[in-house]
Copies of this chain bind each other. A is one copy, B any other.
Amino acid sequence: MVNRYLNVIPLDDALALLSREFTCIPSAENIPLETASGRITARPIFGSYSVPEIHLAAMDGIAVRSVETKGASEQSPVTLLMAARVNTGNVIPPGYDAVIMIEDVWETDGNYTIRRSASPWQHVRPAGEDLAESEMVMPSLHCIRPHETGALATYGITRPEVITVRIGLIPTGSELVEAGVRPAPGQVVESNTIMAGAMLESAGARCTRYSFVEDSPDKIRTALKKGCGENDIVIISAGSSAGTKDYTAAVIAELGEVLVHGIATKPGKPTIIGRVDGKPVFGLPGYPLSALTVIRELVLPFLRNYGLPVPEPETIPAHITSAYPKEIGSDEFVLCTLGKIGNRWIISSQSRGSGVQMSAVRANSYLRVPRASEGFNAGDLVDACLMVPEKEAENALLLTGSHDPLLDHLADLSRPSGISIISTHVGSMGGILSLKKDECHAAPTHLLSPDGSYNTAYLHKYLPGIETGLIFVAGRQQGIVSRENLSLEELPGHLFVNRQKGSGTRMLLDFELKKAGIDPTVIPGYEREVTTHIAVALAVKSGEAEAGMCVYSAAKALGLPFVPVVEEHYELAFRGDHTDDPRLKSLFGVIRSEPFAKVLTRLGGYDPTRTGSLRWVD
């Protein structure tokens, strides 16, 4: 096996090399005050005039010379020779040095009488009280906070000068189509530079996204020259591997030099760092999660060298639910879901391919596993890096177990109460085992016992002595999805797509086939496993399989024929000691709500008769 990369180095070394090789001077730009929040001053800002410039009344009343008021009291009121009516904010006339509140003044025929003396400068806003001419308002490299825009307006600063880093983003690839165009087979929506742009701009960079460039060295060369002329940094998206159409490294080498080709991270290995016209040029891997990782772990930290404030992620110690073994040598970055069960934080990795952008949508956290580490054992305490505010992570409700399309709708209907439902599809048995380990808030489950009862026997068996509850979500129809209206009895000889072992649907199918006297080995593809009802229906729709078993709503969503096999009970199991968990209570409220009843009707194949009823198992 050939080493496809010229020069693979650890991430830390790549960051050190960037600091060593490049003098990072930010660009500066003057921007409208209304857009200045979160931006970083390029220079110190000094007051060019005092605020206020002249003494002002701080109260409604009369301006007086305090010496004239001496000795005034209830017993010996003083009628003033010199006094001027002022409202708050009015200029104090020259020679006057105090204001008496209007409530303390008696006026007769234009004369003012007072019964208390005034101290010099009382109720006066002296010139420069807020800011004196020549004083500094804020230093350079200060992050302008929203409320400070008001102060800057007052001090006459309407277009503050702030720093930025101009970053050119060049998408390459002949297969690309613009977002909004449905890609034909083999085409791909260009999304990596959109993502990179949003991530880099949130740190204060100013990104320019260039037109798509075909896989042609000449065209990439032209684009790179232009990008280097117009920016402080250039990022070329895709073409950074060492395949036949990967021209990025060659073009950078031609116009300048390649400093690094390959960084020892997973994902993100096919990354290039080069220099053209003295400017850093990055080659970004094409897989979205690789690109995400390289932007987050390499480019964003590098922007700190320019003075942009890139916060470190907040971390929380959490127990990892499954072992995460790894080989020494690469830093690995794992997208995860995190939630709080009782007082323990629980984290689970989402071990999926780097083309699965949904992993980054579902994730609320990630793990950094250092290159010297051999990974984690199940239960280890690890540092979860947060991708959402901690409060949002606390409001995560972990549902682990059987999949059903209505879980998406439960998640949506729970949002108004602030709950973020995170569903993990490990099948009913997986859910029961997660509940046993107290690693989820509730487990969706539909496990049939030989006596015809659902779920209770399994809770008795796997959580003996632990009080648990079951809330009924819906009765639901399971059946055969196909393109040709196949029934259970017609499955032999047809290419099948199955659910994973331990899922209630797989157990149900095994049970029903046995009842019907059908040997699974005569069903081709029986060993091909996917983890959701929708994935089964989609495999059938795409032609990957001829039939599978799923719930009615999944077949309906994809417009496929469905032959019912059985109606079963889909319930949520939870531990009795979490009954008062406000997240669970909120979910129960949603299950019992009118909007959820409407969802059941709309999706189809659900029986709402017992929806929301609760029973206890002990």
Q: 1/0 per position for A534-566, CB-CB distance to B under 8 A? A: 110111011110000000001001100000000
Given A89-B186, A544-B127; A528-B136 close (CB under 8 Å): no
Residue pair A179, B156 in contact (C-beta under 8 Å): yes
Residue pair B44, A185 in contact (C-beta under 8 Å): no
Query: What is the interface residue range for chain A against chain B?
Result: 35 or more
Closest partner residue, chain B, to A48 (CB atom): B182
A9-17, A142-150, A426-434, A573-581 - interface stretch: A142-150
Q: In this assembly, does A243 line the interface, its C-beta being within 8 Å of a C-beta of chain B?
A: yes
State in angstroms the CA–CA spacing of A534 and B541 once bound together. Answer: 78
Q: In this assembly, does A412 line the interface, its C-beta being within 8 Å of a C-beta of chain B?
A: yes
Residue pair B534, A132 in contact (C-beta under 8 Å): yes
Scoring A55, A355, A387, A411 by chain B CB atoms within 10 A of each residue's CB, the highest score goes to: A355
Residue pair B243, A120 in contact (C-beta under 8 Å): no
Give chain B residues whose Cβ lies under 8 Å from the Cβ of A243. 60, 87-88
State in angstroms the CA–CA spacing of A196 and B133 once bound together. Answer: 26
State in angstroms the CA–CA spacing of A541 and B50 once bound together. Answer: 11
Residue pair A538, B50 in contact (C-beta under 8 Å): yes
Give chain B residues whose Cβ lies under 8 Å from the Cβ of A534. 128, 132-135
Partner of A138, one of B245, B361, B535: B361
Residue pair A140, B412 in contact (C-beta under 8 Å): yes
**Interface residues in A198-249 (C-beta closer than 8 Å to B):** 198-199, 201-202, 243-245
Residue pair B188, A151 in contact (C-beta under 8 Å): no
State in angstroms the CA–CA spacing of A33 and B190 once bound together. Answer: 13
Give chain B residues whose Cβ lies under 8 Å from the Cβ of A311. 389, 391
Q: 1/0 per position for A376-413, CB-CB distance to B under 8 A? A: 00000000000111011000000000000100110110
Given A147-B292, A358-B151, A539-B126; A134-B558 close (CB under 8 Å): yes
Give chain B residues whose Cβ lies under 8 Å from the Cβ of A554. 134
Question: Least Cβ distance of A168 to chain B in Å?
Answer: 15
Residue pair B121, A411 in contact (C-beta under 8 Å): no
Given A158-B179, A356-B130; A199-B147 close (CB under 8 Å): yes
Given A127-B544, A243-B60; A151-B360 close (CB under 8 Å): yes
Given A127-B539, A538-B127; A182-B49 close (CB under 8 Å): yes
Residue pair B91, A129 in contact (C-beta under 8 Å): no
Residue pair B544, A87 in contact (C-beta under 8 Å): no
Residue pair B387, A145 in contact (C-beta under 8 Å): yes
Residue pair A191, B151 in contact (C-beta under 8 Å): yes
Residue pair A194, B149 in contact (C-beta under 8 Å): yes
Question: Least Cβ distance of A590 to chain B in Å?
Answer: 12
Q: 1/0 per position for A278-313, CB-CB distance to B under 8 A? A: 000000001010011001100000000001000110
Q: In this assembly, does A516 line the interface, its C-beta being within 8 Å of a C-beta of chain B?
A: no
Closest partner residue, chain B, to A131 (CB atom): B358
Give chain B residues whose Cβ lies under 8 Å from the Cβ of A58. 353, 355
Q: In this assembly, does A154 line the interface, its C-beta being within 8 Å of a C-beta of chain B?
A: yes
Give chain B residues whose Cβ lies under 8 Å from the Cβ of A189. 153-154, 156
Residue pair A542, B154 in contact (C-beta under 8 Å): no
Question: Least Cβ distance of A558 to chain B in Å?
Answer: 6
State in angstroms the CA–CA spacing of A2 and B60 once bound together. Answer: 14
Give chain B residues whose Cβ lies under 8 Å from the Cβ of A198. 34, 36-37, 146-147, 149-150
Scoring A89, A288, A392 by chain B CB atoms within 10 A of each residue's CB, the highest score goes to: A89
Q: 1/0 per position for A238-269, CB-CB distance to B under 8 A? A: 00000111000000000000000000000000
Q: In this assembly, does A54 line the interface, its C-beta being within 8 Å of a C-beta of chain B?
A: yes
State in angstroms the CA–CA spacing of A357 and B323 once bound together. Answer: 54
Question: Least Cβ distance of A391 to chain B in Å?
Answer: 8
Question: Least Cβ distance of A378 to chain B in Å?
Answer: 26
State in angstroms the CA–CA spacing of A53 and B183 once bound together. Answer: 9
Give chain B residues whose Cβ lies under 8 Å from the Cβ of A421. 139
Question: Least Cβ distance of A247 to chain B in Å?
Answer: 14
Q: In this assembly, does A504 line the interface, its C-beta being within 8 Å of a C-beta of chain B?
A: no
Residue pair B542, A55 in contact (C-beta under 8 Å): yes
Closest partner residue, chain B, to A54 (CB atom): B185
Residue pair B132, A532 in contact (C-beta under 8 Å): yes
Give chain B residues whose Cβ lies under 8 Å from the Cβ of A158. 179-180
Residue pair A125, B60 in contact (C-beta under 8 Å): no
Give chain B residues whose Cβ lies under 8 Å from the Cβ of A153. 179, 189-191, 194-195
**Interface residues in A478-537 (C-beta closer than 8 Å to B):** 528, 530, 532, 534-535, 537
Q: In this assembly, does A79 line the interface, its C-beta being within 8 Å of a C-beta of chain B?
A: no
Closest partner residue, chain B, to A189 (CB atom): B154
Other than A60-B243, A136-B409, give 9 A-B pairs with Cβ distance below 8 A.
A33-B179, A36-B198, A53-B183, A120-B528, A130-B358, A132-B538, A136-B411, A146-B201, A158-B180
What are 19 A-B residue pairs whose CB atoms fall within 8 Å in the complex?
Answer: A44-B412, A53-B185, A88-B243, A89-B186, A120-B528, A127-B544, A128-B538, A133-B538, A147-B296, A148-B361, A150-B191, A150-B198, A150-B291, A150-B360, A151-B195, A151-B288, A153-B190, A153-B195, A311-B391
Closest A-B pairs by Cβ, 10 of them: A150-B195, A136-B408, A153-B179, A134-B557, A141-B415, A153-B191, A146-B198, A151-B357, A139-B412, A150-B191
